[in-house]
Amino acid sequence: MVNNDSIIYIVDDDHSVLEALSSLVRSIGLDVICFSSADAFLQQLPQRRHGCLILDVRMPEMSGLDIQKILNEKHHKLPIIFISGHGDIPMAVQAVKEGAIDFLTKPFREEEILSAIRTALKIDLIASEQHHEQDLIRRRYASLSEREKQVLPFILKGYLNKQTAIELGISEATVKVHRHNIMIKMETRSLPEIVRDMGKIGR
């Protein structure tokens, strides 16, 4: 379940770690981009693309946790694998609580980091598919007329056409037409399906 388009971003101020990790990742056929500082990474913050971020916890000026916080604030969902030269349990707990995929203490075995990368890429691919689906639903919703957008909440609440007509001050026949058009434009065939889809975009 690894996408060949994936990129592994590595941020660590230790050049020997960058070289070792980049060589290991390339050995399994994945692209790597390395950064020796938090600033360098943030200045070239990658656009949405399949991949994950391997991030050193302790770096000069800005910690890995600081980077994680910035990415979360920007809603940048690149999965993060933390690496640390210290067995800092409170730091690990905080990192995972904020969404990190794993927290590995140096020195770690090659298979440990590769396993973490595979897990991160699976999670990223699933998130990417969900993001794509949400975009489709939002585009379908945007295609509705203003009146159809007024009718839709009543459909989601399970109102009968007659009840919706009374609420909106229009005829029941008009509600039926709008309901039919909504189902076509939203590409749904049942009430549970449209409720599920709208829930995916928070409506």
Strand order of the β-sheet with 51-56 is 31-35, 7-11, 51-56, 80-84, 102-105
Q: How far is Cα of residue 19 from the mean position of the Cα atoms in its chain?
A: 28
Give the separation between CA 128 and CA 147, rounded to whole angstroms: 32
Please answer whether residues 124 and 166 qualify as being in contact, where contact means their C-beta atoms are separated by less than 8 angstroms: no
Residue ranges per structural domain of the chain = 7-129, 143-200
Using one digit for the tens of pLDDT, what is the confidence trace for 157-181?
Answer: 999 999 999 999 999 999 999 999 9
Please answer whether residues 99 and 68 qualify as being in contact, where contact means their C-beta atoms are separated by less than 8 angstroms: yes
Asked if CATH classification 3.40.50.2300 holds for the domain at 7-129, the reply, yes or no, is yes
What average pLDDT does this structure show over 33-58? 84
What pTM did the predictor assign?
A: 0.73
Q: Please determine whether the domains at 7-129 and 143-200 fall in the same fold group of CATH.
A: no
55 bridge partner residues: 11, 82
Confidence band, pLDDT 50/70/90 cuts, at residue 187: very high
Q: What is the CATH number of domain 143-200?
A: 1.10.10.10
